[in-house]
Amino acid sequence: MSAQIHPNNLRNWEKYGQESPQNTSRALLIPKQHTSFNAPILYGAAEQAWGYTGKSLIISRNILNAGLRSGLWASLGGPGMVLKIQTAITRSRLFSIINLPFNSVAISAQAAKIKQSLGRSDNEGLGLGLLTFAILIGDSLDSLATVANAALDTFFSTTSPLISSIGLPLGFAINGMGSLSRGIRLYHLEQARRGLENQRFMKSGSDMKPEEIRSSVSHYLNGLGLHDPNKRIVLERHTTSRAANLLKELNDSLNQAGVFDEKLATKVLETLHQINGSLRKEMTVQTAYAATNLLIFTSLCLMLASMTLELPFILLAISWSARLILQVYQDFVQETLPKKALV
């Protein structure tokens, strides 16, 4: 079996638990002193393009594998077509080498973030950073093993049993760590959402006077510790970068505002409800990703039971198709929060 069964395109969860929250491109992790002005933008575009291309290749490969095991290609074109399909599958695995440079940048950046967490005595950030680091290492080993066996098959018409044997263990390990990371993410999102949604101004803001709203919102925002850099990092980790920025801007605006009239109170409440809605959307997306983790786990168990079934590959194709759709949603649809508060 190919070793190429990692649980997710890394941009969806790899950095969770550190300063860069879940929807930030790895382009932002490139040290500025080593890049030109446009390098982070170009890197981010390349990473995003590979995210779509890599997922599409995995979907196609699993569909082709399912057809092989069901006998579909043999019935349609005989042994000749089967050989062509097997060759196409092997060649497509060679593209896994593209994962390695992206992962090397992420591993370096993650190591730096772990060091920062140690310096801040941030135990939660340290734990999540180590989890992310382990996922990146596992994904790199998976990609390396996939490329090595594909190269052996392409140029020498053989594969290494030792390399092949690590495919399932790596798949289980990475999928398990990814599921754990996503579970923690969902827990933190739910805690943050409840903390906001249970505030009086969220439940009965329309019945409150402007100064009551100002006082209640200020009390809530001050409790978040928005001006403490360490608490700000934790807030970004538990919500999203955009939400944390808006909450800080709201706090600054409330502290600076002279007259707090009904119009301003309405804008404040509107922004807070938008943030709450954004957290709900993020929870929905993360839950959908968790469902794909479950599908992948099921497919791995079926592969462990029998390598001749087509069902595992069908489940993998479905899960990766869902992830491709989710990536499109995250990149182009999901974020509806304004960039600035009270505008």
Domain boundaries, the chain: 10-181+302-332
Written as six digits, the tokens of 333 are: 């649809």
Query: What percentage of the chain exceeds 70 in pLDDT?
Result: 89
Among all chains, which residue has been given the structure tokens 């499109």?
A: 328
Contact between 244 and 194 under an 8 Å Cβ cutoff? The reply is: no
Quick one: CA dihedral 105, 26, 192, 283, positive or negative?
Answer: negative
Task: Give the distance between the most distant pair of CA atoms in the chain.
Answer: 80
What rounded mean pLDDT belongs to the chain? 88
Confidence class of residue 161 from pLDDT cuts 50, 70 and 90? Answer: very high
Give me the residue label for tokens 């291309």: 53
Taking the C-alpha atoms of residue 167 and residue 6, their distance in angstroms, rounded to an integer, is 9
161-172: average pLDDT: 95
- Which amino acid, 194? R
Mean pLDDT of the region 189-217: 95
Averaged pLDDT for residues 210-224: 95
Rounded CA separation 7/292 (Å): 8
What is the rounded CA–CA span in Å between residue 60 and residue 66?
A: 10
Please report the pLDDT score of residue 256 as a whole number.
Answer: 86
Average pLDDT of the residues in 99-126: 96
Predicted model pTM:
0.86
Confidence of residue 250 (pLDDT cuts 50, 70, 90): very high
pLDDT given for residue 155 in this prediction: 96
pLDDT value of residue 14: 32
Both structure tokens of 253:
């605006």
d(CA 62, CA 89): 9
Q: Is 22 helix (H, G, I), strand (E, B) or coil?
A: coil
Flag whether pLDDT at 180 surpasses 90: yes
Amino acid at 316: L
d(CA 148, CA 164) in angstroms, rounded, equals 10
Query: Which among 41, 22, 59, 15 is positioned nearest to 292, based on CA atoms?
Result: 59
